[in-house]
Structure 1
Amino acid sequence: MGFKENFLWGGATAANQIEGAYLEDGKGLSVYDIVTVGSHTNPRLITPKIDEEHFYPSRISIDHYHRYKEDIALFAEMGFKAYRFSISWARIFPNGDDEQPNEKGLEFYENVFKELKKYNIEPVVTISHSDIPLAIATKFNGWTNEKVIDLYVKYAKTLFERYEQYVTYWLPFNEINNLFLPLSALGQGAIFPKEECTFQGQADDFETRMKALKNIFLASAKAVKEGRKINSKFHFGTMICHITRYPRTCHPDDVLAVFKNDLLYNNTCADIMLKGEYPFYTLKELEKRGVDINLTEEDKTTLKEGICDYYTFSYYQSISESTLKFDEQTSGNIMGGIKNPYLKETEWDWPIDPVGLRYTLLKVYDRYKVPVMITENGIGCRDVLNEDGTINDPYRVEYIKDHLIEMQKAIDDGVDLIGYMAWGCIDLVSVSTGEMKKRYGFIYVDTDDLGNGSFKRYKKDSFYWYKKVIESNGENL
């Protein structure tokens, strides 16, 4: 069967990882503007007070704010049919609760949309991708405060009304299921730390995170309802960080434990956003932990009335888990696991599991029976810029090729897969480590972990390979 004729081939980025210009044209500080650079061995720091001795990579990123025309032209040269990116909330409402939006910010994204339209590239827009105004975190303690729901809806409506003619595909939030983990308290929940801490060492308050998550669900549902009033042709999707899980052994305890973890972490958010209600297993887990999120009848009605209509997710790896003790461990974007002896790993210890993507596609399509879009997938590697300006990255071609083959098999299995967005289609700042040397893109950006360099763009070997893939609609891999 192969890929559909109108399959959305493209790439994905996020505002806080590419734009830079962190206080330009009226933009306010975002939560990631206070997160320092780190590395695979040295964790990033969250500094509630700005410390000029540290380097904050999101403030410069790859300077896409000034180079978006050049970058979009390169995407068009590759043949992109779609481009998934995010809008910085703090660029539109610098303090989150401003009376009027920042016109300069609105104009910037309108220019981006016009540039995409010039090349017939379909935008897939994330409304909030971990780029929440810092003022919301400090003034309201982020999503723990119900007042932020209305602030978000106002922000979303501003986007819907201003960009109605440009956008069909909207993603209300990014990877909010990560709030089941402490390290996502700031990024997903805008829960402000009381003192300096590491990115991985944020204070663990499960109840606070679950209350924040409930407010995010309500904000999403209300925004979806408002969006459909503005344009009934708008499509709204989930965006789940799907970390596919395997039992490390066939011990029944391992199988049961992984099944329950998968329900809670991978399925809860999509169940609520696509089915419109908290699933029984999540409610029971909250009850067991003594957490009362005060879910009212009005809340239940809101969730039901504001469901999304397609499923999107990020996929990078699988993890293995066990109730037994295993010494060899792996890491990952937001969580690690036990080493899987059947899988290779990246330099950053992430397992490489293309077949796991096919398994995941079958799993989510069977569960939700709505169109599916992969909005992040890729591999971070050290790329070397040769003297002649070339970059040889056969490992990236191999990684993506192997995943595309499994996607094709999933389509042949019957999955309604409508798009694929390669993550970091241009090199960007890594969220987990803050590094530039962990590169994902088809396009090399000449800058290092501390923002030094010419910022000149170079085409990698994978650039030309992906161009051929798109030209052949996936037949020429």
Structure 2
Amino acid sequence: MKELQTGFPKGFLWGGATAANQIEGAYNEGGKGMSTSDYAAYKDPYATGKVDNFTFNVTSKELKEYQENEANYLFPKRWGIDFYHRYKEDIALFAEMGFKTFRISISWARIFPTGLETEPNEEGLAFYDKVFDECAKYGIEPLVTMSHYELPITLTEKYNGWASRELIPLFEKYARVLFNRYQSKVKYWITFNEMNMNLNSLYTGAGILEDLIDPEKKLEVTYQASHHQFLASALAVKAAKEIMPDAQIGCMINQIESYALTTKPEDQLQALKSNQLNMFYPDVQARGEYPSYMARYFSDNDINIVMEEEDAAILAEGTVDFVAISYYMSHVTEAREDAAKLAGSFDSPIKNEYLELSQWDWPIDPIGLRISLMKLYDRYELPLFVCENGLGAKDELTEDGRIHDDYRIDYIKKHVEQMKEAIKDGVDLMGYTTWGCIDLISCGTSQMSKRYGFIYVDQDDEGNGSLARYRKDSFEWYKEVIASNGENL
């Protein structure tokens, strides 16, 4: 029997997480091509009175308008927080906090500007060499996501993104370039960020322009695109094992733990089905085959997935070493007419009366993280990694250059406590990287004022500011958490 683990294990990977399209900037430097995220236009989330005014989706008409009249719009993900030029300063701050790992993504369009080139862009490769070398200087292990919500826009225009099987060999080529180049510098990899977010935004997750597909077939296109990504991920895992046998390759989902609204059996059944749709993505990537429950789901929803003869073998050969999750909230589910549509959605319209809400109306549920980790580990018996978790809030910079964010400390403290309980429950947890360890551009709203970081960046939603970095109160707190390996909270 496994021995009881009462604290975080030795070598636990504490750190923080970011994405290239939200921090790098320099969208037109170093030979980088344009990506889907470069066309996420900023919309004031308060203009409509609705806080979450998402910029997730872009239509073909909007894309054309943005390309022809760029000066009329703001595209904050193009400027990020200028990590491209300030990476040494930022990594030094992470090192000061004691980071053991730093989650970063590589921009596909910085390596292959259109995705179609025969040879990679050396200037792009060299940039990440410098970033990884800087991490190594401080003993920080990079955790690298290969595809984090940014596809070369040419692949959207030519193939309508992952709707096409043509992207599979292009991604494999990209993966092999990364593995060959960085095999001595990067041990931990994630193929696709939150692949289940395809259910929320086909443009963001799969580079698909929804107005170019049959609206009656949207769900089918979503799962067909996911199938193509499953194959690309499996081929990347197989390539990694060939090139760097000691590497660890993971998959990742946005963990959406669904609770039943009542003890009514129909509500309980709907919660189970909602959780199955969430687990479907790691089921395929960790087990190497489609789960049996999806046969009925596809039949009930008139979904026909085109699979080639070799696909089953590819999935079976390319299973991952660990399962990574982002965790921000839990959901509430009930048996209602729109239940199937809501299953897998990012935010539930049914609020949990027992939970507090963040400034962005997201339910705060630390125990839900423990529940999720226990269920995932029971299901896969693979190491788990919480690689996104954090609180988006409006921070105030005081006259003396301080940010007193006790609310963020309280949020992370409660989630760390529940991770520790999950480890005591027997969960094999590899690490924890808080989302947006330095303030960055919001994924959903492209705003800057929704801040997650331990480090404040002087920049507003329109891109104005000095870009100076300031340590928040949470900076010193997290530094102590890491130094004590999670014992001093």
Band of TM-score, shorter chain? over 0.9
Shift of 1:42: 3.9
Shift of 1:436: 0.7
From 150, 155, 168, the equivalent of 2:187 is: 168
From 8, 18, 25, the equivalent of 2:23 is: 18
Shift of 1:25: 1.2
Contact 1:333 1:432 in 2 (8 A): no
Shift of 1:124: 0.6
Does residue 315 of structure 2 align to residue 303 of structure 1?
A: yes
After TM superposition, what 4+ stretches of structure 1 lie above 3 angstroms from structure 2? none
Query: What is the distance in 1 between the residues matched to 2:337 and 2:118?
Result: 55
Give the corresponding residue for 1:199.
Answer: none
Tell me the SS of whatever aligns to 2:203: coil
Shift of 1:41: 5.4
Query: What is the distance in 2 between the residues matched to 1:29 and 1:296?
Result: 31
- Aligned letter for 1:186? Y
Give the corresponding residue for 1:427.
Answer: 439
Q: TM-score, normalised by structure 1?
A: 0.95
Tell me the SS of whatever aligns to 1:438: coil
Within 5 A, what are the aligned runs for 1:142-161?
142-161=161-180
- Aligned letter for 1:373? F
Tell me the SS of whatever aligns to 1:338: coil
Deviations 1:411-447 (A, max 9, x none): 1111111100000000011111111111000000000
Query: What is the distance in 2 between the residues matched to 1:346 and 1:325?
Result: 28
Give the corresponding residue for 2:3.
Answer: none
From 46, 63, 75, the equivalent of 1:48 is: 63
- Aligned letter for 1:174? N
Query: What is the distance in 2 between the residues matched to 1:451 and 1:283?
Result: 48
Query: What percent identity do the matched residue pairs reach?
Result: 50
From 415, 436, 441, the equivalent of 2:427 is: 415
From 301, 305, 308, the equivalent of 1:293 is: 305
Give the corresponding residue for 2:263.
Answer: 250
Contact 2:287 2:316 in 1 (8 A): yes
Give the corresponding residue for 2:367.
Answer: 355
Give the corresponding residue for 1:386.
Answer: 398
Query: What is the distance in 1 between the residues matched to 2:107 and 2:325?
Result: 20
- Aligned letter for 1:84? R
Query: What is the distance in 2 between the residues matched to 1:131 and 1:335?
Result: 22
Shift of 1:262: 0.8
Give the corresponding residue for 2:469.
Answer: 457
Contact 2:21 2:77 in 1 (8 A): yes
Give the corresponding residue for 1:37.
Answer: 42
Shift of 1:249: 1.1
From 251, 271, 274, the equivalent of 1:238 is: 251
Does residue 272 of structure 2 align to residue 259 of structure 1?
A: yes
**Equivalences, count:** 464
Contact 2:54 2:445 in 1 (8 A): yes
Query: What is the distance in 2 between the residues matched to 1:343 and 1:9?
Result: 27
- Aligned letter for 1:57? P
- Aligned letter for 2:447? E
After superposition, the CA RMSD in angstroms is 1.7
CA distance 1:191–1:420, change in 2 (3 Å) = same
- Aligned letter for 1:245? S
Contact 1:272 1:278 in 2 (8 A): yes
Give the corresponding residue for 2:146.
Answer: 127
Shift of 1:294: 2.1
Give the corresponding residue for 2:104.
Answer: 85
CA distance 1:42–1:312, change in 2 (3 Å) = closer
Deviations 1:289-325 (A, max 9, x none): 2222122441001000000011110000001111259
For structure 1, the residue ranges without an aligned partner over 5 or more in a row are 196-201
Contact 1:276 1:303 in 2 (8 A): yes
Tell me the SS of whatever aligns to 1:458: strand
CA distance 1:144–1:333, change in 2 (3 Å) = closer
Contact 2:199 2:345 in 1 (8 A): no
For structure 2, the residue ranges without an aligned partner over 5 or more in a row are 1-5, 46-50
- Aligned letter for 2:154? A
Tell me the SS of whatever aligns to 1:261: helix
- Aligned letter for 1:104? E
Give the corresponding residue for 1:198.
Answer: none
